[in-house]
Structure 1
């Protein structure tokens, strides 16, 4: 299994339980995650783990994918997509994202990934990069493209638009947590920050109200 695979995988209930156990071990012990330790914690055989995940890199990839899956994709009704619906969808995605990255689990994963980054072999740094930020780009892109096609958003480069959205949502929260600041975001704070990020994004990339009222022909990519 490629450690940089970024497909959205479906896990069974039992697999999710095992991956939650893996995340708990990473929070508790950092790089001490092994197939043997996980088999003991999750009360399953190593043979089952190898069958499901292939090897330790495959297990780490699945673990990161499961954590990233908690940032849900946003269902779209393209026939009824307007500025309000677009803003609400961006806000929901941003809130999920903030909730996940500020969790103790994600902080532990990212700290471990930074320590592994830049090695000569595929490692957790590469896994987190490809199944974290890169996967978020892929997950929110349909929403950005639907907004652009509906004439609600204007941008020349979808990747650049995503990177701006990333900056507005994540800001310096992640780096402060990684450096040990005792920050705990409440549900209300996450909601406020998510709303602010979506409003700022629409202020930067939203089509002018007059242009939307005139229903211009959307730019096709």
Structure 2
């Protein structure tokens, strides 16, 4: 996230909006959806309600923007598609999976998902579009490049992504939503998920992880 006070007005605006969305997440965690009003957010973010309405439209727009902001924390790993090999594929997949686990298991994501469950027709759609579906579109280019490089084999990218989704997420999200405060080792879980994914889809020249 860009900081306030940089040369570009666009970067400053991004920083200010990000601070507002972080304030929304903090309020959801601390006080729940019932306390999330435009006035409460304005106080927490030290801005005016008029600014919130100008930027986000209404409370639903603010919540949808918050979903997108939280989902943006899951990033596809940077890689050189011309030099993609077994090691860089594994590294990218493990980094993506670890980021994903840390985000979905966080208190902020749990709070957002609980609100979305109660507003399945509005916010629930935003969570699907900017969560599971958007994340799939971020990962599929890596899967397709890896297939082109002969590192993995599959017929349909969506099917491959769904398998990866299941191996990474497992029951983590539902347990968090139901209040199970278990210890998550995102790095170890990510490595296990990638091991299992490559066992299912890895081409013969993709070596097993060592160590």
TM-score of Structure 1 vs Structure 2, range by shorter chain: 0.7 to 0.9
Which structure has more relative contact order (CA 8 Å, sep 6+)? It is 1
Structure 1 runs (4+) deviating above 4 angstroms are: none
Q: Which residue of 2 aligns with 1:51?
A: 54
The alpha-carbon deviation at position 127 of structure 1 amounts to 1.3
1:191 pairs, out of 187, 190, 194, with 187
Q: Which residue of 2 aligns with 1:174?
A: 173
Q: Which residue of 2 aligns with 1:145?
A: 144
Query: Any gaps of 5 or more consecutive residues in structure 1?
Result: 1-9, 214-221
Matched residues in 1 for 2:186 and 2:102: separation? 7
The alpha-carbon deviation at position 174 of structure 1 amounts to 0.8
* 3-state SS in 2 of match to 1:132: helix
Q: Which residue of 2 aligns with 1:16?
A: 18
TM-score by length of 1: 0.83
1:120-158 per-position Cα deviation (integer Å, ceiling 9, x unaligned): xx4221111111111110111111111111111111111
Matched residues in 2 for 1:198 and 1:168: separation? 8
Equivalences, count: 195
Matched residues in 2 for 1:106 and 1:176: separation? 13
1:94-145 per-position Cα deviation (integer Å, ceiling 9, x unaligned): 000011111111111112211222xxxx422111111111111011111111
Query: Any gaps of 5 or more consecutive residues in structure 2?
Result: 1-10
Considering only aligned residues, what root-mean-square deviation do their CA atoms show, in Å? 1.7
Matched residues in 1 for 2:28 and 2:123: separation? 12
2:196 pairs, out of 191, 197, 200, with 200
The alpha-carbon deviation at position 29 of structure 1 amounts to 2.6
* 3-state SS in 1 of match to 2:153: coil
Contact kept? 2:76, 2:92, Cα under 8 Å: no
Contact kept? 1:74, 1:89, Cα under 8 Å: yes
Matched residues in 1 for 2:182 and 2:134: separation? 25
Q: Which residue of 1 aligns with 2:81?
A: 78
Matched residues in 1 for 2:37 and 2:138: separation? 30
Contact kept? 1:145, 1:158, Cα under 8 Å: yes
2:27 pairs, out of 15, 18, 25, with 25
The alpha-carbon deviation at position 49 of structure 1 amounts to 1.2
Contact kept? 1:23, 1:105, Cα under 8 Å: yes
